[in-house]
Amino acid sequence: MLSQITRAARSGLALNTKRPFGLAKHIRPFATVDANTPRVQPTPPKTKATPKSHDRATFTIRDGPVFSGKSFGAASNISGEAVFTTSLVGYPESLTDPSYRGQILVFTQPLIGNYGIPSTARDEHGLFRHFESPNLQAAGVVVADVAEQYSHWTAVKSLGEWCAEEGVPAVSGVDTRAIVTYLREQGSSLARITIGEEYDADQDEAFIDPEQIDLVRKVSTKAPFHVSSATGDYHVAVIDCGVKENILRSLVSRGASVTAFPYDYPIHKVAHHFDGVFISNGPGDPIHCQDTVYHLRRLMESSQLPIMGICLGHQLLALAAGARTIKLKYGNRAHNIPALDRTTGRCHITSQNHGYAVDSNTLPSEWKEYFVNLNDHSNEGLIHQSRPIFGTQFHPEAKGGPMDSSYLFDMYLENVSRYKKSQAIFQPEREHRPSPLLVDLLAKERVGVVPTTGMENLLRMGGAGEEAARAASVA
């Protein structure tokens, strides 16, 4: 496994280019071998910071209403898909969730920002304590009222200061009730945030549709990275489609060291070196991830490994099995959505963030529906009839949200444990822990992921931005 992974990392196969961005910092040809090497974090890419703006701001829904408010974030103009969340807390976690890449997030909670933004402190695993990725992922933020003065013992800055630092525009003073009513009736819509300019109806054609963009490519690591666990001897391969920090934490804290691969990595070629495969969450339309679907299909044909998928990972697992996915009218984004476990009859309150779902009517006969949404009756999970493979549309790791379904990680690792014990009978010489050399060679967090700047920054790009926007809109 070491030779295959390091060859791929050195040659840049994960990127299909000569050299992944920033990889030279993490691959050392004469590295010393030390199983207890501390996690040295690579320098993160710089964001497009701007001064905090308090100018007039306009939130425009394509072919819909126009809302005027006040800017409290970056002085940049962007477009994206307008979606809403009904979560009451957890805005730092939501805004750093890679699944929100390319989206303008509208909060239904009337007041946002009252407990500020916490520090970038890391836990004992080297993972962010308070964020789900290194940067703010949403293209823009829309709230009814923002708290410029915050109060919390973990806070180090305001929401507005953070948005400005990350180059993300934010709007307050708009009627979010009217916005959400429109989005519920018309469905998720393309929208634009304009700072300091009057609305121009002639620019409606400049809206960019993120569904036409492979967003997973933007948020996935560009080379493998490793997170070690000090409490167990499992080794899980994670397909990083935009993995949240708390998914990694949920695995590592349960005794599974993790090696994360780019979303399009041919995982079936190295899977036999691992005790399980995990497919992460991520943004956008799953149909863009055709390479991932192909590799998963090959994996299930050639291996009996335990597999678990969450959110986009669940959808990709379903596509690999032969099912289809559908786009929901306005998606499910909240911390209080009921999901029924069809195998036990129990209902769990779940945290969700998705605009697509699996069409359960298209599941092959060897699969069955695992969970169902009790609000809109959409699919929330699938499970194989005889093999240790399952996926959930909701987020059992939450962060934020309820932890009712976190036991699913325990269930997955029980499958991993059984598989590992069965393999020990046939391969008694098999290594029980990741190679120390592998641990030392690989990066310790996602590599080459560029921060969001919205779908397009029309203020910086000028006429070129308009042309690019029109081309993407027509595509």
Buried b (16+ CB within 10 A) or exposed e, 122-135: beebbbbebbbbbb
Specify the amino acid at residue 29: P
Sign of CA dihedral 155, 160, 166, 168: positive
Q: Which pairing describes strands 276-279 and 234-240: parallel, antiparallel, or unpaired?
A: parallel
Residues assigned a catalytic role: 311, 395, 397
Q: How far is CA 105 from CA 94, 139, 333, in A?
A: 9, 8, 10
Q: Which two tokens stand for residue 352?
A: 């969700």
**DSSP H or E stretch at residue 177:** helix 176-186
Q: How far apart are CA 239 and CA 372, in angstroms?
A: 25
Q: Which residues contact 457 (CB under 8 A, 6 or more apart)?
A: 48, 76, 77, 78, 167, 465
Can you tell me which residue has the tokens 């010393």? 32
Task: Give the closest residue to 337 by CA, choosing from 280, 380, 389, 285.
Answer: 380
Q: Which two tokens stand for residue 369?
A: 């529906």
Tell me if residue 431 falls in helix, strand or coil: coil
Tell me if residue 313 falls in helix, strand or coil: helix
**Longest Cα pair distance anywhere in the chain, in angstroms?**
71
Q: Which two tokens stand for residue 58?
A: 């306009």
3-state secondary structure string across 186-251 = HCCEEEEEEECCCCCHHHHHHCCCHHHCCHHHHHCCCCCEEECCCCCCEEEEEEECCCCHHHHHHH
Task: Give the closest residue to 70 by CA, choosing from 141, 138, 150.
Answer: 141
**DSSP H or E stretch at residue 166:** helix 159-166
